[in-house]
Structure 1
């Protein structure tokens, strides 16, 4: 059903706001789940209903205790628009209080449900962190990959995709220093002069090693709180 008036649209937003707050807090503080649109919509609707009922109980208790003044629900339901027009300010305040309390309960519940997490979730995959967030300034990921058939590759990471389903996750290596070592070979073969890039199926990777190299050949480790510029490393990697 599509709301036909501004009031109906605002009412719909007030109704689903607690569920949206709850799911937003969960998504910010833990890895997202790949659910269908129906399941996500159901989660928002059910959580909105639960937090709405909880806030209504709290406000009703405060009204019984004489702490706040709320509209008469019986007259509101029976008289509808006329009651709203005659008690407009009271109705607006009640709707605002109910929505604000529902959203506060939803946010607090979402935070409590994820409080055991040691750190706030970052919307990064493992490869995204290693290749984009960890490199020091002006340093580039130099990657050593060993596949499940013992073929090895060395090269600079050009791009990667590890968010899709199995079978489509890829890492692309490039550079003039691109190298390969086949099982049984004693040394690496430089293939960067004849091949531009190598696309590797990430699901076949047995081991992946990464170091960060600047244009002048200096090597550093990943950035961290203790090493914001990355730990200096010795013995430059042959490129």
Structure 2
């Protein structure tokens, strides 16, 4: 059952060196505050998993927390490259970074397989793609019923899954509203799950067919208002587009990134 705790304690207890960690959230509800706490606690040799690595993974890579990235797209949305990720890949700075690239469809299906307790995901995909030539975790399986060739990838089962959501009730149930990506699947597929929320309420007031993650599937819940900033949380605050533009200049040079780390992460306390 979900335990209510501080973000500092949730990361200290739940995230350890060498683990595989997934911080998911599609367009909004990206768990920036949790990522910054991982940086503050100086975790190392993490394998980060995310369908769309953007600024938070650029920050974690640049801070030296990451040894491998499993992903299906990477960039600063609407702006350009992830300069800290690029520096790690091209120059092994601050650490060498191994990459494993997939398609969006592959990762979504792999999360679903992990949530269902299956060893792999089967789907139609990678037709005409060269990814299979460079990624040994993409295979082809023949359907025993139709003879059709299908793509297969290992199920994603992170050691730790972290998401941000709008609300949790006092029983530990979590409500997600707006664009829902693979957050539910991340929680269900992970061995240990951490959810940060905007508020804790007596009643979720969930509408019919809402996305609710039950408390029995969650290990830790943390009350972290603005926990998705600079991404947005539907119903709470908008996306800070200016931050994404500023990040391009901040992350482009090692010195400016180091200054940002000191002022915006290490000098800031966790909830």
Give the TM-score taking structure 2 as reference length.
0.18
**Could you say which structure has the larger radius of gyration?**
1
More relative contact order in 1 or in 2 (CA 8 Å, sep 6+)? 2
